[in-house]
Amino acid sequence: MDNVVTVEKHPSWHELTLNRPERLNAFTAAMHNGLADAFDGIEADSTCRAVLLTGAGRGFCAGQDLTERMDRSVPVDLGATLDATYNRLVRRIRSLGKPVICAVNGVAAGAGANVALACDIVLAARSARFIQAFIKIGLVPDAGGSWYLPRLAGLARAKAMAMLGEPVSAEEAAQWGLIWKVYDDEALMPEARRMTAHLASQPTQALALMKRQFEASETNTLDQQLDLECELQRRAGTTPDNLEGVRAFIEKRAPKFTGMP
């Protein structure tokens, strides 16, 4: 059960790998603990400016490990489980002041699919599939799926995905706007690492403020969002990276962003 989440630390970004390939990286309590520790490390490390999340082996994540849920001799409260595990993870990804890239290397089912969709930029291997598998076991979408799916893909597709539980190919997922891009299987990880390293070299504070903007836009009116843009642009405009970006443009050289105040 050791190393069910591995953390590879690059100089400016961390790569997290869900690592139970024999179970298609299905989530266990140990895996949630491993992810919580990894995110603690990421938050505490000011040199870490981006995160890449992926899975080991042929799958990304098959959702909750169903063998952990077999004992019904004591009453189960799945709401409490969600609150303590998936909801915490999704909130951490969404509120982290650094971009989180997800490389969906294979099948992503149930909460595994929805954790992927919680990330800021989602890439997938051509062979990957996204499955809202919940209905097959009498459950409803969780880990934010009932929120992302209608917003990303529209209500018609969201409802059909959830109610039918059919696999959606990576190509379809990209066409529907669920994810950013699809790569040939062997190209996925090199592209995902290149993109993560690129984002780690960018103005981190502006990226963090962007995450806040887009999160707020889900419920804001246009007027509220225009006000928020004033507030956040005011803050972005005081960062050293803003000054460096403008200077580099005028001096016709590549900018060197530090990411920190």
Residues engaged in binding ligand LHQ (CB under 6 A): 23-24, 26, 62-67, 69, 78, 81-82, 107, 109-111, 131, 133-134, 136-137, 139, 142
Q: Give the shortest CB-136-to-ligand LHQ separation in angstroms.
A: 6
Provide the minimum distance between the beta carbon of 82 and ligand LHQ in the complex, in angstroms, as a whole number: 5
Q: Which is nearer to ligand LHQ, 23 or 193 (CB)?
A: 23
Taking the complex as a whole, the smallest distance from the CB of residue 72 to ligand LHQ amounts, in Å, to: 12
Between residues 137 and 187, which has the closer beta carbon with respect to ligand LHQ? Answer: 137
Nearer to ligand LHQ, 178 or 200 (CB): 178
Whole-angstrom distance, CA of residue 231 vs CA of residue 219: 17
Closest CA to 54 of 83, 14, 82, 88: 14
Give the angle subtended at the CA of 103 by the CAs of 97 and 107, to the nearest 5°. 130
Residue 99 or 112: which CB sits closer to ligand LHQ?
A: 112
Kindly tell me which of 24 and 173 has the beta carbon lying closer to ligand LHQ.
Answer: 24
Residue among 58 and 94 whose Cβ is closer to ligand LHQ: 58
Residue 150's SS3 state is: helix
Rounded to the nearest whole angstrom, what is the least distance from the CB of residue 254 to ligand LHQ in the complex?
A: 44
Q: How far is the CB of 121 from ligand LHQ (least distance, A)?
A: 22
One-letter amino acid of 26:
A
Task: Provide, rounded to whole angstroms, the least separation between the CB of residue 249 and ligand LHQ.
Answer: 47
Residues 241/205, Cβ–Cβ less than 8 Å? yes
Q: What is the DSSP code string of 218-256?
A: TT--HHHHHHHHHHHHHHHTTSHHHHHHHHHHHTTS---
Contact criterion met (CB below 8 Å) for 5 and 17: yes
3-state secondary structure 69-109: HCCCCCCCCHHHHHHHCHHHHHHHHHHCCCCEEEEECCEEE
Neighbours of 70 (CB within 10 A): 8
Q: How far is the CB of 80 from ligand LHQ (least distance, A)?
A: 10
In the complex with ligand LHQ, the residue whose CB is nearer, 87 or 233, is 87
How deeply is 165 buried, as exposed, middle or buried, from its count of CB atoms within 10 A (0-12, 13-18, 19+)? Answer: middle
CA 138 from chain centre, in angstroms, equals: 26
